[in-house]
Chain A
Amino acid sequence: MPAPSDRRYSDSHEWHKPEGDLVVIGITRFAVDQLTDVTFVDMKPMGTSVSKGDPVGEVESVKTTSDIYSSVDGEIAEVNAELADKPGLINEDCYGKGWLVKIKPSDPGQIDQLMDADAYTASGGS
Chain B
Amino acid sequence: MLKTPLNKLHHEHGGNMVEFAGWEMPIAYGSIQDEHVQVRTKGGLFDVSHMGRLKITGRHARRLIARACTRRIGDMQQGQCRYGLVCNEQGGVKDDILVYRMDDTEFLLVVNASNREKIVEHLNNIIQAEEMVAKLEDQTMKTAMVAIQGPKVMDLVSRVSSEVPTLKRYRFTVKNLLIAKLIVSRTGYTGEDGVEVILPAGIVETALKLLLKDADLKAKDSDMKLVGLGARDTLRLEAGMPLYGHELGEDINALACGVDFAIALDKDQGDLPEPFIGQEALKKTRDQGGPPQTLAAFVAEGKRTPRQGMPVMIEGKQVGVITSGCMSPTLGVPIAMGFIDRQHNTPGTRVTIDAGRAELPAEVRANPLYTKPKTK
Give bound CA distance, A64 to B305, whole Å: 9
Contact residue among A33, A36, A39, A91 (Cβ-Cβ distance under 8 Å from B305):
A39
Give, as a whole number of angstroms, the nearest-CB distance from A41 to chain B. Answer: 9
Proximity bits, B136-156, A CB within 8 Å = 1, else 0:
000000000000000000000
Give, as a whole number of angstroms, the nearest-CB distance from A69 to chain B. Answer: 15
Q: Is A122 an interface residue (CB 8 A)?
A: no
Q: Say yes or no: A40 contacts B16, CB within 8 Å.
A: no
Residue of A nearest to B36 (CB): A62
Give bound CA distance, A42 to B329, whole Å: 20
Q: Which residues of B contact A (CB under 8 A)?
A: 16, 27-28, 31-33, 230, 234, 303-305, 307, 326-327, 329, 357-358
Give bound CA distance, A73 to B326, whole Å: 33
Contact residue among A33, A37, A60 (Cβ-Cβ distance under 8 Å from B304):
A60
Interface residues of A in 76-123 (CB under 8 A from B): 91
Q: Say yes or no: B234 contacts A62, CB within 8 Å.
A: yes
Give bound CA distance, A91 to B326, whole Å: 17
- The contact sample of 10 A-B pairs, CB cut-off 8 A, is A36-B16, A36-B28, A37-B32, A40-B305, A42-B357, A42-B358, A62-B327, A63-B230, A64-B307, A65-B305
Give, as a whole number of angstroms, the nearest-CB distance from B137 to chain A. Answer: 35
Q: For residue B304, which residues in chain A have a CB less than 8 angstroms away from its CB?
A: 40, 42, 60
Give bound CA distance, A63 to B33, whole Å: 11
Q: Say yes or no: A39 contacts B303, CB within 8 Å.
A: yes
Residue of A nearest to B327 (CB): A39
Residue of A nearest to B34 (CB): A37
Interface residues of A in 35-77 (CB under 8 A from B): 36-37, 39-40, 42, 58, 60, 62-65
Q: A36-B16, A36-B28, A40-B304 are in contact. List 6 more A-B contacts (CB 8 A).
A: A33-B16, A36-B32, A36-B230, A42-B357, A60-B305, A63-B326
Residue of A nearest to B358 (CB): A42
Q: For residue B230, which residues in chain A have a CB less than 8 angstroms away from its CB?
A: 36, 62-63
Residue of B nearest to A67 (CB): B357
Given A42-B304, A60-B304, A36:B327 Cβ within 8 A:
no
Given A58-B357, A62-B230, A40:B303 Cβ within 8 A:
yes
Residue of A nearest to B302 (CB): A40
Give, as a whole number of angstroms, the nearest-CB distance from B325 to chain A. Answer: 10
Q: Say yes or no: A62 contacts B32, CB within 8 Å.
A: yes
Give bound CA distance, A126 to B33, whole Å: 23
Given A36-B230, A39-B327, A58-B357, A65:B307 Cβ within 8 A:
yes
Give, as a whole number of angstroms, the nearest-CB distance from B11 to chain A. Answer: 14
